[in-house]
Amino acid sequence: MTNQTIIAWSEIPVTDMDRAVAFYNAVFGFEMTIDTTTGPMPMAVLGNAMSSGGAHLFPGTPATEGGTVVHITLPDTLEAGSERLRAAGGRVTSPPIEIPEGRFAHARDLDGNPIGLFELKPA
C-alpha cells in the first residue's frame, strides 16, 4: 500500500461565482479570488491553497437533492463559523456532532450545496 492522497480535489458547483466567493470568504476567513487562467473554466480555490485534498468553486449546476459533503475546517469555533454562515445567507442543518478529531455540523451554502463546518480539536 502506498501513502497516496485518496481525494485529489473536490469541486463545489455554484451558480454565481462572485456571490459564492464572497460567501466562502466570509464564513471561513478565506481571501479567494476568481482564477480565469488555470483551467478551462473560472475557478476559485478554497483558501487559495493548492495542496493535496484541496477544493475549488466552479460555475456549474448544484445537485438538487443530496450531493457529496465537503467538510471545510473553520479558523475558530463551530459556533462562530455557524454564525458567520447564517449571516452570509447559508443555513446550518444539524446540531454539533462530536468525533475524536473535533466537532462538525452539516450546512448548506447559498446554492444549497451540502457542506460541513469542521472545528479541529485543540492539540
Spell out the domains of the chain, with CATH numbers in brackets. Answer: 9-120 (3.10.180.10)
The reported pLDDT for the residue numbered 57 is 87
Tell me what pLDDT residue 95 has: 97
Residue 4: the pLDDT is 64
Contact 107, 54 (CB under 8 A): no
Question: pTM score, two decimals?
Answer: 0.86
Residue where the block lists cell 481571501: 31
Which amino acid makes up residue 6?
Answer: I
Residue 68 and residue 58 in contact, taking contact as beta carbons nearer than 8 Å: no
- Point out the residues of the chain with pLDDT beneath 50: none
